[in-house]
Amino acid sequence: MATKKNTAITHGDKEYNYYRITRTVGHEWKNGKKVPIKKQFTGTSKGNAEQKYKAFLEKQAAKALEEETKIHAARMKTFGEYAEEYTYEVLPSLDYAKGTKRQYEQKYRTHISKSFLMSIPISNITARTIQDYYNHSTLSSSVISGIHKWMSAFYKWLTLNGYAGNILSAVIVPKKKSKPNDIIVWEPEEVEAIFKATKDFTYQLMIYLMYYAGLRISECLGLKYTDVSEMVCINRQYYRGDICPPKHESYRKIPAHPEILEKMKIHKQRQHIDSEYIFISNTGRLLDYHNVRSSFERFYNKNNLPHKKLHAYRATFCTELCRAGVPLEVASKLMGHKSIEVTARHYALVKQDVKIDAINRLPSYS
């Protein structure tokens, strides 16, 4: 007896007869309605077509089981296992700036890799877990903010690869209130002693730029001679071995104090290597921050001066603007602060008698 056929399929120049069946292999949503997904199977007979349909179902079941096994295995892997893979295998190949990659690796190595998060299965990490990690941390707000940037990049990778959902939308980075005395500044008598001692100091000009223009040390290190005339123009910074935009993209121009221009002349006369950059080593290379800091430590020891962070010069500049009654918005612009709230902290350092004197100098119209 001839095998029953119900369809013809052409291959090349020849036509072959087959038996075709249509079966529902799943469902999908279209226009708000659940509709069946149809698939056709062909064979040399109806029985042969049915066998192919069953083989398809078995293959789909095997794929589903394999996928479920992978998902289960993925959920059993810990936060730490994924974090190690991301930081040391994935991150180096991503399209981030070198400085960003270094910061992410440093935040992970210094803080995250030592946290309780590392041993928890990734499927058990929730928004509350991350929030508790932030809330109970004794780290500063800026450090937690840096950790959160790593977390955001990490969870983006986890989500793209189906290892976990992005839970960070429900997490809030806590803003810890800073005390006024967290800001370290130089007192007037200390500034006077420093300036008297800088005559033969290699980085005399750097001190004047930080004190009279509020420059960050990284901005000083990236400064070119063409950036200083009537204005000190901040167009770049030299940070961790890279020339990059200023912090927070804070491009700005600060009027050049006469002392800066005077010390610029002296500095240029002393510099024997031709360079477009103001601060260079004896070999003509840009300066390393740690070497500069060591030079300042020796300078303080030699002149019996207190040891304070280099940032203290910039903080003093801001505080002096506040004491002089410069409007908060103007001071913030000159400093290149990310927000006006950062600048406002310096106003808390202004002594009460200075505030009273400022009020008493207001004109009277009575």
pLDDT given at position 313 = 96
CATH T-level fold of 182-359: hpI Integrase; Chain A (1.10.443)
Tokens of 145: 């903010």
CATH number of 79-170: 1.10.150
Predicted TM-score (pTM) of this structure:
0.59
Q: What pLDDT, on a 0 to 100 scale, did the predictor assign at position 1?
A: 43
* C-alpha span between 14 and 292 (Å, rounded): 84
Domain boundaries for CATH 1.10.150 within the chain: 79-170
Where along the chain do the CATH 1.10.443.10 domains lie?
A: 182-359
Q: For each of the chain's 366 residues, which pLDDT tens digit applies? A: 445 677 777 777 777 788 999 999 888 988 888 999 999 998 888 889 999 999 999 898 888 777 776 666 655 689 999 999 999 999 999 988 887 898 899 999 999 999 999 999 998 999 999 999 999 988 888 899 999 999 999 999 999 988 888 999 999 999 866 554 578 899 999 999 999 999 999 999 999 999 999 999 999 999 999 999 999 999 999 988 889 999 888 999 999 999 999 999 999 998 889 999 999 999 999 999 999 999 999 999 999 999 999 999 999 999 888 888 888 899 999 999 988 888 888 877 776 655 566 566 566 554
**pLDDT of the residue at 356:** 61
pLDDT of residue 257: 95
CB 217 within 8 A of CB 240: no
Which 8-state DSSP code applies to residue 166? -
3-state helix/strand/coil string of 318-342:
HHHHHHCCCCHHHHHHHHCCCCHHH
Tokens in use for 209?
Answer: 């730029």
Q: What CA–CA distance (Å, rounded) separates 349 from 188? A: 14
| Pairing, β 33-43 against β 252-255 | unpaired
CA distance 337 to 319: 13
